[in-house]
Each structure stands twice: as C-alpha cells, then as structure tokens.
Amino acid sequence: MHDANVSRSADSFVPLTASAVLVNPVGLHARPSVKLTQLAKSFAAKIEIALDADGPWTDAKSPVKVMRVKAPQGATLHFRVTGADGETALATLLALVHDGFGET
C-alpha cells in the first residue's frame, strides 16, 4: 500500500525558507513593496513573505497584499519559496532586502 500523502507529482517541491532584516529606512513601504512584487513576479516559484516564521504568509506577487504587510525598518522578513526556480528566487530576493531595495 502507498501512503496517500506521499506526493508523486514531478512538480512538487519542498518549500525553501530564509529571512532577512529590513535595513532600508522606510521598511517595506510603497516603493520597496513594488520592487519586491516585481522581482517575485519574475519567478515561476510560489513566493510568500511573513513577519513571523510561523506566518501568516502573504503572496509576494500581490502588490496590494505586500503593501499591507507594512513591515518597518529592523523587522525580519521571512520568505517561503516553492518551485523549480526557488533557489534562484530566494537568493535574488534576499539580495534585494540586504541591498535595502536599492535605497540609500
């Protein structure tokens, strides 16, 4: 007998998680939210963000939902990424946060 919970689907991936501290002064406000959403949309993987490792998780490809997270400077942004290009997506997203969203 097979365990019904074991997924045999070729397109199932283990979610990758990582976190980064928001270093830019305004935190995750309008402009950084737009950048984050645009970057997330450039990957096929499912990408979610949260302020707590336990969630609640927000779809990083939804500009409205990302803006509603309202994460301030110093907050830790958690990522959960699931998909074939997940590793690249995660690395690129973390780089964006570490870089302060390109803001000075």
Supply the residues annotated as catalytic. Answer: 29
Asked whether position 56 contacts other proteins by CB under 8 A, the answer is no
State the DSSP H helix or E strand holding residue 36, giving kind and residue range, or none if neither: helix 30-41
Note whether 92 binds other proteins by CB under 8 A.
Answer: no
Closer by beta carbon to other proteins, 23 or else 67: 67
Site for other proteins (CB under 8 A): which residue of 13, 16, 20, 63?
Answer: 63
Number of H helices, E strands in the chain: 3, 4
Q: Counting contacts by CB under 8 A, is residue 104 touching other proteins?
A: no
Measure the CA–CA gap between 4 and 9, rounded to whole angstroms: 12
**Two structure tokens written together for 88:** 């690249």
Residue found under tokens 């870089």: 99
The answer to whether residue 53 forms part of the interface with other proteins (CB under 8 A) is no
For residues 71 and 27, the answer to whether their CB atoms sit within 8 Å is yes
- Of 3-11, 36-44, 50-58, 83-91, which segment contacts other proteins by CB under 8 A? 36-44
> Interface residues with other proteins (CB under 8 A)?
30-31, 34, 37-38, 41-42, 61-65, 67
